[in-house]
Structure 1
Amino acid sequence: MNYIIGIIGIIIFLLLAWLVSSDKKNVRWPYIGLMLVIQFLLAFLLLKTPWGITFVGWLAKGFQYLLGYAAEGVNFVFPNMVNLNDKGEPLNNFFTQVLLPITFISALIGILQYLKILPFIIKYLGLAISKINGMGKLESYNAVASAILGQSEVFISLKKQLPYIPKHRLYTLTASAMSTVSLSIVGAYFSMIKPEYVVTAIVLNLFGGFIIASIINPYRVTAEEENEVIMADETEKQSFFEMLGEYILDGFKVAIIVGAMLVGYIALIAMLNGIVDGITPGKMNFQDILGFIFAPLAFLTGISWDDAVRAGSIMATKLVSNEFVAMLDVQNIVKHKTGELSERAIGIVSVFLVSFANFSSIGIIAGAIKSLNDRQGDVVARFGLKLLYGATLVSFISATIAGFFL
């Protein structure tokens, strides 16, 4: 029964994208069908095959080592705040275990970027994907780069092309950025939800972003437009230590900003819960209301109706705040074994949460582009809600596909 509901859910999510399409007659469904097949295949490989499970385990173990090294630096600056268990792994402390290691991961990304390893991967992986999605090389490059560099940082590598990118292509570029996550915070996600859900979501969202953008914003890239694309790192040449200092500071800024947003959003949600609880004592809170609103959508991902309201509440929390706030809910359910959600529902919800699709991302992306090109930043701000709508559908489709193998 869950499989039938999942198939219906995918059809409905695609239909919801088609309803706001800018060109309903010219949607290229063969490419969309191909990418859906690839998504199912990748989800099966990552969640069900021994090779996929081994690969995810290897990644998780690698990040665990990195988090252990990060703990050394954190403990030096903040002594007695990092406690290690018998295996040398940091114990649970959100600020030291989840946020501050972002600084170290960001430094590693900077080193790989400086050594031209990441640009090589981004360029040729993007080139390969462009053969599958029917879009331009620029769109494919940007999608891969977004998943590594982040939703705002990626546009720095396109700053020379940015003034000449037309509105329809700019939508696809920003949609990719909102549908993915930054590699610098993947380690933080690994410490909050199961690594297999994180990796699966990242891979599925890459293609899901193309699927939804191809429906909402269909177009064909001409040969002339392709020839104008230069997929290269256009940032000014820096010395190694200039680069390293910049990436370390960027990572620390991200950690502090995420921490500040968590303080504000969690406090705001707590206040709204208190207000609703005061109006209906002991009956429901603000997150319960969100849960009832999102329950039908959660049900369409293949989650049983018994779990749909609680799952919908977590999904909505991510949309109105950010993925970290929602992941804390999932983490508490798993840690305290409350039984609020089944294991399968936890997996589906976890995949849904791994993206930057929330209201605050509209401002982040528009602001990042505006800092590079004022006119293009205004263009992005005008289609911000449509951008969020599409990115949320990407998360729903990825979660639904993952549900077939959980």
Structure 2
Amino acid sequence: MKYIIGIIGLIVVLGLAWVGSSDKKNVKYKPIITMLILQFILGFILLNTGAGNYLVGGIAKGFEELLKCAGEGVNFAFGGLVNDNQFSFFISVLLPIVFISALIGILQYLKILPFVVKYIGLVLSKVNGMGKLESYNAVASAILGQSEVFISVKKQLGLLPKHRLYTLCASAMSTVSMSIVGSYMVLLQPRYVVTAIVLNLFGGFIISSVINPYTVTEEDDILVVQEEKKQTFFEVLGEYIMDGFKVAVIVGAMLVGFVAIIAMINTLFKTVFGVDFQDMIGYVFSPFAFLMGVTLNESIQAASVMATKLVSNEFVAMNLLSSGSVHLSARSTAIVSTFLVSFANFSSIGILSGAVKGLHEEQGNVVARFGLKLLYGATLVSVLTATIVGLIM
């Protein structure tokens, strides 16, 4: 039965993407089918094989060691602020972002990351039927983050037509930056985080290929990556450390605002309607959770977590899922967890348009205009990933 529901879910996701397509007649089905098959193969390997478990276990252990190292720095600066056996979200989950960001800066300075990103992007461009720029951007987004990635393609921003700009932004919203992956692994099982990152990479291309189909000519398919200005090692290190701290503070501030607003709305809804706001949106989104593979009796709770991510951000939803107040089976937890690993939420529209506008004002306005369509596509990417995980588990 789960396979029938899952296949219906896949059809619904792709159908919703097709409904929102800007050029239904020119959708390229061959690369879409190829990437769907790749998603199933990679998802199965990562979740259901010994080799996949070994790989994910190695990645998780690596991040665990990195987080221990980060903890040394955090405890030195902020030790004593939290009582023994007490948990601080900001100190334990967000501040390690500073250390991971510093490591990314070191790998950037050594030219290791640019090399990896460029050549993985070139390989992807052979599979997805899109341009080298789109493929590079998708991989770079997963390393640098949804705002910072546009700096590396600054030279081409002003030359991009609307449809190519949409794909770049959709990739940035569908992936997550490496600097916060460790923080996700504190709240979710690492294997779900790794699986979602891989599947979202292809899912972003699949949904964009349906919603926003186009062909890139060879003369337009030129990848020009902005060279970083020459800096010393310690200048780069200091810059990335400060960038990591800014991210931690910004996410922390957003959590304060969103959690407080949701608490206020829950109180109002409880007073007026006798039901929490999160329970209400859970009822609205529960059919989608069911089609992703969540059992009917768990669909309302699962949908409530998913919708919380959409209206606030992924950290609020992950904290809700890991808090113990939501009780789901292992399979439903896997589906919900992989859905949460992306930047697909309303606040990302402002973040993306602001990032692009800072580099090219006119293109930033273009991003703002198709912001809701961008969120629509990125959310479908998350639904597609979760549905595939539901079929595999």
Bin the TM-score by the shorter chain. over 0.9
Residues 1:106 and 2:93 aligned together: no
> What is the CA distance between 1:280 and its match in structure 2?
2.9
> What is the CA distance between 1:235 and its match in structure 2?
2.3
2:261 is matched with: 268
**C-alpha distance in structure 2 between counterparts of 1:25 and 1:83, whole Å:** 61
1:155 is matched with: 150
Match of 1:297 among 280, 285, 288: 288
Provide the secondary structure at the position in 2 that maps to 1:238: coil
**C-alpha distance in structure 1 between counterparts of 2:311 and 2:91, whole Å:** 25
> What is the CA distance between 1:93 and its match in structure 2?
2.6
**C-alpha distance in structure 1 between counterparts of 2:148 and 2:36, whole Å:** 28
> What is the CA distance between 1:279 and its match in structure 2?
1.1
**C-alpha distance in structure 2 between counterparts of 1:108 and 1:97, whole Å:** 18
> What is the CA distance between 1:83 and its match in structure 2?
7.7
> What is the CA distance between 1:79 and its match in structure 2?
2.0
**C-alpha distance in structure 1 between counterparts of 2:12 and 2:392, whole Å:** 20
**C-alpha distance in structure 2 between counterparts of 1:271 and 1:102, whole Å:** 29
1:386 is matched with: 373
> What is the CA distance between 1:95 and its match in structure 2?
1.4
**C-alpha distance in structure 1 between counterparts of 2:301 and 2:230, whole Å:** 50
Moved over 2 A (4+): 81-85, 232-235
> What is the CA distance between 1:64 and its match in structure 2?
0.8
Change over 3 Å in CA distance of 1:77–1:132 after alignment to 2: same
Match of 1:355 among 342, 349, 356: 342
Query: RMSD over aligned Cα, in angstroms?
Result: 1.3
1:11 is matched with: 11
2:279 is matched with: 288
1:213 is matched with: 208
2:327 is matched with: 340
1:321 is matched with: 312
**C-alpha distance in structure 2 between counterparts of 1:345 and 1:24, whole Å:** 33
Q: Deviations over 1:34-92 (max 9, x none)?
A: 1000000000000001011111111111111111111111111112246899xxxxx74
Identity value in percent: 65
Match of 2:383 among 389, 396, 401: 396
1:67 is matched with: 67
Match of 1:309 among 300, 306, 319: 300
**C-alpha distance in structure 2 between counterparts of 1:270 and 1:163, whole Å:** 42
Change over 3 Å in CA distance of 1:84–1:270 after alignment to 2: closer
Residues 1:128 and 2:127 aligned together: no
Match of 2:237 among 244, 264, 271: 244
Q: Deviations over 1:215-243 (max 9, x none)?
A: 000000001101x322x342212111111
Structure 1: 5+ residue runs without aligned partners?
86-90
Q: Tell me if structure 2 keeps the 8 A contact 1:18–1:24.
A: yes
Structure 2: 5+ residue runs without aligned partners?
none
Residues 1:371 and 2:371 aligned together: no
Residues 1:34 and 2:27 aligned together: no
> What is the CA distance between 1:329 and its match in structure 2?
1.1
Residues 1:234 and 2:227 aligned together: yes
Change over 3 Å in CA distance of 1:57–1:26 after alignment to 2: same
The code of the aligned residue for 1:155 comes to F
Change over 3 Å in CA distance of 1:238–1:401 after alignment to 2: same
**C-alpha distance in structure 2 between counterparts of 1:375 and 1:240, whole Å:** 34
Q: Deviations over 1:233-272 (max 9, x none)?
A: 4221211111111100000000001001011000000000
Change over 3 Å in CA distance of 1:72–1:339 after alignment to 2: closer
Q: Deviations over 1:158-193 (max 9, x none)?
A: 011111111110000000000000000000000000
TM-score normalized by structure 1?
0.95
2:162 is matched with: 167
Provide the secondary structure at the position in 1 that maps to 2:343: coil
> What is the CA distance between 1:404 and its match in structure 2?
1.7
The code of the aligned residue for 2:71 comes to A
**C-alpha distance in structure 2 between counterparts of 1:175 and 1:234, whole Å:** 23
> What is the CA distance between 1:340 and its match in structure 2?
2.5
Give the number of aligned pairs.
Answer: 393
Q: Tell me if structure 2 keeps the 8 A contact 1:156–1:235.
A: no
The code of the aligned residue for 1:166 comes to P
Q: Tell me if structure 1 keeps the 8 A contact 2:47–2:191.
A: yes
**C-alpha distance in structure 2 between counterparts of 1:339 and 1:219, whole Å:** 42
Match of 2:90 among 67, 89, 95: 95
Q: Tell me if structure 2 keeps the 8 A contact 1:74–1:82.
A: no
1:54 is matched with: 54
**C-alpha distance in structure 2 between counterparts of 1:127 and 1:291, whole Å:** 41
**C-alpha distance in structure 2 between counterparts of 1:339 and 1:114, whole Å:** 43
**C-alpha distance in structure 1 between counterparts of 2:326 and 2:184, whole Å:** 22
1:88 is matched with: none
Change over 3 Å in CA distance of 1:84–1:184 after alignment to 2: farther
**C-alpha distance in structure 2 between counterparts of 1:167 and 1:378, whole Å:** 11
The code of the aligned residue for 2:53 comes to I
Residues 1:330 and 2:324 aligned together: no
